[in-house]
């Protein structure tokens, strides 16, 4: 049967709705209304991505509800995690498979895997989202991934046993801790070459974080139980702050006021006032062997991955107390928090039912 042309169909729909309204009015009922599916713009929501090293996956935590919303399978022994500034992708280093998994946050699926050096530990992404820097512990170098093509475009030799990496807010420099050399290499990200001499720090430097103004780098020294504070203008250590035993992870609040340091051997977190470079308050008790540390964009919550208790402690920065604990996979290491664009599922448009039409729902009431 040939469909009527569009003007005719519009007139017929108008007559149908007019008839329905008339019947409803006669019956004393409100006229049914046409409901169209509303188009809702993508809404940014904040999620924590947690690398579970012994279950080879990543737990995705909704930070509004502190519940795991999905789990993403990645490579062998995932370690470091970084989220692109636009929240579209997550880069995860896999220690045992010597590669990096790239997760699309819209679907929370791995879209590609990038081969890098031996034992990739940490990853950091430039502020413009164009490049990911990956430390390769056994190769003594850093792989630079172009995030548009997901290919390695440079390999930068650094010191012995590179572990942590952080990039300045202007994207100009990458600071790399060399765990076996007890120093820090500085990479010029334009030329992808090391500039200046290595900066001597404490024993077994692990993770590193840079203040939001780019003025200071905080380096965790795992075997000397302290934090070296580097002035990034002079690339010299201007302070050393004693923390707990065997510190591993570090993150700095968005206002730059505090650094949170996970002390693996003591199962707690030290808080450093970055103005005075002193530890403030008592250590915050968390789970067993805290490793990764990440902070929400508003600075209100700190997420700490506890390697030996298979969970994440959530700290309220207003009170510096743990407000909840989220179970994740086995042996969580790296944690990253970022805002991800989530497009709500549109509500289907209801189909109006003719007055007097039979209800075909199967209601088995006996």
The pLDDT tens digits of the residues spanning 13-22 come to 343 334 333 4
With beta carbons less than 8 A apart as the criterion, state whether 101 and 132 touch: no
Instruction: Tell the residue number behind the tokens 């997760």, with chain if given.
Output: 103
Q: What is the mean pLDDT of the chain?
A: 88
With beta carbons less than 8 A apart as the criterion, state whether 157 and 194 touch: yes
Distances, alpha carbon 15 to alpha carbons 5, 35, 192, in Å: 16, 18, 71
Rg of the chain over CA atoms, in angstroms? 27
Which whole number is the average pLDDT over 334-357? 68
% residues pLDDT > 90 (the chain): 81
Strand partners, 209: 218
pLDDT digits (tens, 9 = 90+) for 155-191: 999 999 999 999 999 999 999 999 999 999 999 999 9
Distances, alpha carbon 258 to alpha carbons 131, 239, 261, 271, 317, in Å: 27, 15, 10, 7, 10
Confidence band (pLDDT; 50, 70, 90) for 350?
Answer: low
Q: Which residues contact 177 (CB under 8 A, 6 or more apart)?
A: 162, 163, 164, 165, 184, 201, 205, 206, 207, 208, 219, 220
User: What number of other Cβ atoms are within 10 A of residue 354's Cβ?
Assistant: 11
- State yes or no: pLDDT of 331 exceeds 60: yes
Distances, alpha carbon 276 to alpha carbons 189, 200, 241, 251, 365, in Å: 30, 22, 10, 17, 72
pLDDT digits (tens, 9 = 90+) for 283-311: 999 999 999 999 999 999 999 999 999 99
Which whole number is the average pLDDT over 305-330? 98
Q: What is the pLDDT of residue 341?
A: 78
End-to-end CA distance of the chain: 42
Which whole number is the average pLDDT over 313-317? 98
- Cα(178)–Cα(207) distance, integer angstroms: 10
Superfamily of the domain at 45-342: YVTN repeat-like/Quinoprotein amine dehydrogenase (2.130.10.10)
Q: Is 240 left (phi over 0), alpha (psi -120 to 50) or beta?
A: beta
pLDDT digits (tens, 9 = 90+) for 71-110: 999 999 999 999 999 999 999 999 999 999 999 999 999 9
- Cα(239)–Cα(169) distance, integer angstroms: 21
Domain coordinates in residue numbering, the chain: 45-342
């Amino acid at each position: 049967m040939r469909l009527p042309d569009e003007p005719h169909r519009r007139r017929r729909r108008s007559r149908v709705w007019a008839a329905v309204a008339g019947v409803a009015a006669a019956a004393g009922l409100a006229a049914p209304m046409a409901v169209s599916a509303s188009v809702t713009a993508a809404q940014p929501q904040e999620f924590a991505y947690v690398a579970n090293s012994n279950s080879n996956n990543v737990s995705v935590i909704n930070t509004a509800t502190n519940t795991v919303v999905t789990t993403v399978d990645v490579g062998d022994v995932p370690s470091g995690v970084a989220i692109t500034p636009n929240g579209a992708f997550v880069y995860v280093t896999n220690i045992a498979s010597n590669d990096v998994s790239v997760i699309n946050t819209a679907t929370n699926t791995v879209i590609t895997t990038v081969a890098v050096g031996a034992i990739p530990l940490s990853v950091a992404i430039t502020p413009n989202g164009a490049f990911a820097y990956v430390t390769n512990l056994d190769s003594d170098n850093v792989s630079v991934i172009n995030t548009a093509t997901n290919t390695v475009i440079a390999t930068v030799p650094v010191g012995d046993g590179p572990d942590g990496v952080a990039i300045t807010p202007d994207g100009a420099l990458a600071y790399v801790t060399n765990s076996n050399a007890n120093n820090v290499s500085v990479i010029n990200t334009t030329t992808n070459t090391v500039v200046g001499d290595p900066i001597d720090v404490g024993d077994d430097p692990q993770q590193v974080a840079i203040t939001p103004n780019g003025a200071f780098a905080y380096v965790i020294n795992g075997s000397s139980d302290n934090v070296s504070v580097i002035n990034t203008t002079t690339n010299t250590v201007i302070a050393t702050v004693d923390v707990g035993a065997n510190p591993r992870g570090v993150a700095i609040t968005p206002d730059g006021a505090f650094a949170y340091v996970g002390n693996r051997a003591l199962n707690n977190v030290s808080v450093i006032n970055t103005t005075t470079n002193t530890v403030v308050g008592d250590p915050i008790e968390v789970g067993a062997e805290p490793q990764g540390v990440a902070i929400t964009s508003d600075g209100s919550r700190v997420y700490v991955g506890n390697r030996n208790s298979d969970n994440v402690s959530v700290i309220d920065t207003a009170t510096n107390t743990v407000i909840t604990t989220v179970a994740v996979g086995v042996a969580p290491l790296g944690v990253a928090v970022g805002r991800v664009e989530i497009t709500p599922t549109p509500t289907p448009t209801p189909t109006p039912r003719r007055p007097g039409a039979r209800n075909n729902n199967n209601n088995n009431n006996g």
